[in-house]
Structure 1
Amino acid sequence: MPFTELGLQQTLATRLLNLGYMRPASAHTKTIPAILNGTSLFVGSPSGAGFTESAMISIINLSTTQAQSRRAYIILSASDDHKHIYEQRLKLLMGDEIQIDIITNLERFAAPTTQATILISTPQEFHNYLEQSSTNRELSYTLLLTETDEMVARGAKPQLLALSDYLSKECQIIICTSKITKSVKSISRSLQYKPKWLTLGPNNKEPRNIAHQAWPVPKTMKDQLLLKLSSKLHNAKAIIIVNDQQYATKLARRMRTRKLKAAAVRAVDALETYSRFESNDIQMLILPDQLNRSISLEGVTHIIHYHLPDNPQDYLTASIIAPGAIHMSIISPNDEERLIEIEDVLKRPLSRNILTNFDYTDKFSKSKHETTTRKKKRRKGKQQTKFEWDPDIPRTWGDQNAIRANPEKTPLEEWSPSPLPSVWLDKNLRKNTKSGSAKNRPSRRDKQYRRNHNGNKFSRTTKQ
């Protein structure tokens, strides 16, 4: 079924096809027609299943078709960093074919005109705007709340509840949350009027309907990003897939230093490790192999692909084995080609996620143990100053960072060899300059005590 049958414009449907959406997924078929008809939705699904993305696609379509109506399209995010992330996602979905003014600063936002406009804001900023604006009563809103549980965790629940004083029942409210908590339910009761509930239902036959997330990071910072994500996964039960037994043991040791219950599967105690994981004694199981059906997946919430498999069918198999888990892939620039092959198998692109409170520019820092051992092994002597290498500056044998000297060359016609040193010519002098001959050297046989091949001393006796 093409996207045009869901009610999308041909331009937007073509853009989705160019991005890699071969056909609508389950999240698209459930979400897009309902939003285009003006229905309020309550979506309980983890990020990566496609529901939030489907809501953004619907808002793009509505803002272009109903640009002249008195309706404002608002997307609320958890923080300013999240605002930038959703702005980039909107621009990716629109491309150059669709012209929509995306506003992240409320000072530029005005009443809807003929120009298609989408506002991205935070709960606090949008609440302050509704308090100060005099035209808010005349407008109707299509409001999308992304990551509502994250906004509640950041303390935005009072501002979200206060929005009900300015929004009428005619407003269309779409709430997306990965965790359905009491606070999120209270926000739904306060803002929404007869919403339609949608939840993620695992389907083994359609792996593209499962929640997939891609987290790009420099190769040297994979461990740091994994530790940061693991600390955010409260009460989560995860399986981390790596491609090396030695690295699995090293990664488990490092995670335990961060007070995370992690263990690597080894051949000597694999059954004991599996039993501890089933009894929830271990929350992070590091598997140095592909996921198989012999492992009990009861209660597993996340499958983290630290190393992507060489064959994309192995990733597809892991998705089918654990359809109820969130599949997270930590990728470096070298893994981008493998991820594209996985997207071709899933027949849908995977959005690249960015962790807001993580410094991607931080350099990889070595542990104190490694630095101290290297200092001990370093020879004593004058420490050389280190300079940054510049490939445009040639090197010399004396100083590696000095500019190579270019002396004036003597023409071949004017050059003549200098006389050789006398020590090279006088043969007798050369003999006398030798530092002792073999006859004058003291022999080891003259020593009174000798050692045999076992290292024991014995006295040398002369025969009578």
Structure 2
Amino acid sequence: MSNSDKSWSLDQFQVEPKDGETRFHDFDLAPALMRGIADQGFQYATPIQAQVLTHTLAGADAIGRAQTGTGKTAAFLITIINDLLKHPIEVKRYAGEPRALIVAPTRELAMQIEKDARGLCKHTDLRVMSVVGGMNFNRQQERLQSSLIDILVATPGRLLDFCTRRDLWLDRVEVLVLDEADRMLDMGFIPDVKRIVRHTPTSQYRQTLLFSATFNQDVMALAQRWTETPEVVEIEPTQVTTDTVDQKVYITETSQKFALLYNLISQQDLDKVMVFANRRDITRRLCERLQKKGMNAAMISGDVPQTQRMKTLERFRNGKVRVLIATDVAGRGIHIDGISHVVNYNLPEDPEDYVHRIGRTGRAGATGTSVSFACEDDAFLLPELEKAIGMKLECEYPPEELLKERPAPERELKDQQRQRDEQTERDQRAAQQASGQDS
């Protein structure tokens, strides 16, 4: 237990037993970790947490099938943190030798996992770090060369870069987590992941946890290859999509979709909206058109620099951006509380992407709304989406008032004026700097 926990006890974290629910108190967790759990406001384990932790806290390997939003991240982080706290290393340690490794397919997901890990580790001495592509390479290299690491979160390419340069050694990894294995397959990362796994101790000398939204043949073949007699835990996706998210499908024409989107947000005065499109050019065009209407909108896609994406996400999280438009790759793994509505401007071609998209809302027990636009270009995708979520989607025509072009309401006009004022201020600063340089 770290010094900060000596004045804290479980008596300060009271959770009443409840029929059919598993408390975190019901597991034998380290007090410093329990304080981190209390800080996060966790009281009762989600179904996947309850099932996974029963096995993994005892040291078993596990394969979990669960969609985003079910609490799987906390399940593997609690396993890792508890194990590292209860089995401290007595021998001398060196920089660049993590004790636990979490591999994720996208930068956003990796950085979200890092943030969650820091929250749970707040009252411990464990050090958390991420290495992801698109961020400052030299700064990450400097930290690897100078700091001890307990938990490392990484994307495959950047992780291998550092292994090749011998800035990172994975032979001391005690727990290996492969998150969203199906997405890593889709993105072509499996050759890289195979190389990463070869850098770690053999499967009998490490604990391996693998999570995937789907259990197809390829995923199961990899899971069996990398784990030792694993426990298999499956949580049905319908729990994510139907219990907390109200799903609507509006039948519309391609030419009406923008007016429908704009009116939906402005007339209902929606505050925190995430819009998904299938291509980067569509996200850019949508963002520009909404901004011209005076709406506070921003976009993230694969061609936006990572530092800019992180700033945009932070502004959206803080309420400074009202509408965030994203592609599936950029939107995967975004965990932001309070997203009231998800709009599918295009229906996704992959049904699993639909589940991940609408999982951005209705999180952590809150309710949310998903609105999908089905037009002549993509309505044929609906049967596969319904099959993926195990329910029939009700299709309806949008109310007439949502299709009419209307002048911008007062809120948008104020946003527009504020944007003009900010631009004027930037222009004045630039002019002052230029005149200073000339003199």
The normalised TM-score by structure 2 is 0.50
Question: Structure 1 or 2: larger helix share?
Answer: 2
Larger gyration radius, structure 1 or structure 2: 1
Q: Per chain length, whose mean CA-contact separation is higher, i.e. which structure has more relative contact order (CA < 8 Å, sep 6+)?
A: 2
The normalised TM-score by structure 1 is 0.47
